[in-house]
Amino acid sequence: MKAFIQFLKKEFYHIFRDPRSLMILFAMPLVQLLLFGTVIKTEINDAEIAIWDKSRDISTQKLTNKILSSGYFKLAKIIQSEPEIDTEFRKGKIKLIIVFDYNFDKRLTNEGKASVQIIADASDPNNATILVNYVESIINDFLRVKNDMNIGLQPQMRMFYNEEMKSVYMFVPGLMAIILMLISAMMTSISLTKESELGSMEILLVSPLRPAQIILGKVLPYALLAFLDAIVIIRMGKNIFGVPIIGSRLLLFLETLFFIITALSLGIFISTITNSQLVAMMISAVALILPTILLSGFIFPIDNMPWILQFLSNIVPAKWFLIAIKNIMLKGLGLVVIWKETLVLLIMTVVLLVASIRRFKIRLE
């Protein structure tokens, strides 16, 4: 036990004396959280738009007011002619232009339909789609009020669990998955391969320390620090961005711990494939970090992916982790609902550890 504590101490010296490790462990989670939370947003605030109102009647006026008072849009320019559309878009500031056709109010009242054109700058397609959707829903709303319940079917949309569609609700869990993957899988695999690369692994194996103690001693500090980071991210998410934790905190922490262990076994497994720190880093980055960002459902919805990617996303641990912690944090659900995701993580961990032990033995022989 004493020998093991001495080993842990050494490991912490390694971490705290390496500026790069410190950056990843302490600076990166904060910077990324602030970046994701404030800069990169999928919701719209004060997007600059232009309006070309050919009709200039009471309806277009009302609709314009409704659009502008929504808080999503800011009128930057009133245009009067066709060529101006192109000019304004080319300037780049205006992202969306609304064109009301002639006799808008008259046609709407008499014929029950009128023309309005929404032109968006799709050089940023995601943004364009969101803007168009917003305008559409405002116009639909306007029509409903105008027709005064004449339409039998009235969709009343509510976005449960994230009523305001706040993107930060997505980023906090997603960021946790990335940071935990970076620390628990990437950094441990590098730290383990470093011992082999430097030749100190031989010395450790010849010492009375058991191989299991050596591995545990290498991964435990990273597990602790990863867990600490997870707590910081959750707390910052709650205090700064108001991301709620409706469900059980204990369950949230346990699920996080579970994911850390899965990530650690990934790190251990990688270190049994290679003896080079550089290779370990590349494998971690390409095989672990990228899928965690792209295939976990963190940024791109899994339902919209081609079937092959949907299929692949099943082997990305972060996918299951994200489903589980979103259910806990945003919906307040318990283990009764997320046992399946937890089981998947458990199975992944066991498979990876068994494979690692096998490979480790082969390498010793």
Task: Using CB under 8 A, list all residues that contact another protein.
Answer: 2-3, 5-7, 9-10, 13-14, 17-18, 198-200, 202-210, 364-365
Query: Closer to another protein at the Cβ: 61 or 276?
Result: 276
Q: Is the dihedral of CA 176, 177, 179, 181 positive or negative?
A: positive
CB of 7 to another protein, least distance (A): 6
Question: What whole-number distance in Å separates Cα of residue 189 and Cα of residue 187?
Answer: 5
102 secondary structure, DSSP code: T
Query: Closer to another protein at the Cβ: 205 or 240?
Result: 205
- Residue 252, CA atoms < 13 Å, CB-side half-sphere: 23
CB of 194 to another protein, least distance (A): 10
Does residue 100 sit in helix, strand or coil?
A: strand
Q: Are 177 and 321 in contact (CB under 8 A)?
A: yes
**Which residue type is seen at 268?**
I
154 secondary structure, DSSP code: -
Query: Closer to another protein at the Cβ: 20 or 158?
Result: 20
Query: Closer to another protein at the Cβ: 5 or 165?
Result: 5
Burial degree of 283 (CB within 10 A; 0-12, 13-18, 19+): buried
Query: Closer to another protein at the Cβ: 206 or 250?
Result: 206
Which residues are CB-neighbours of 70 under 8 A, at least 6 positions away?
134, 138
CB of 160 to another protein, least distance (A): 51
How does 111-124 read in b/e, with b if 16+ C-beta sit within 10 Å? eeebebebbbbeee
CB of 273 to another protein, least distance (A): 20
Question: What whole-number distance in Å separates Cα of residue 212 and Cα of residue 218?
Answer: 10
CB of 213 to another protein, least distance (A): 9
Query: Closer to another protein at the Cβ: 71 or 199?
Result: 199
Q: Are 329 and 247 in contact (CB under 8 A)?
A: yes
CB of 230 to another protein, least distance (A): 26
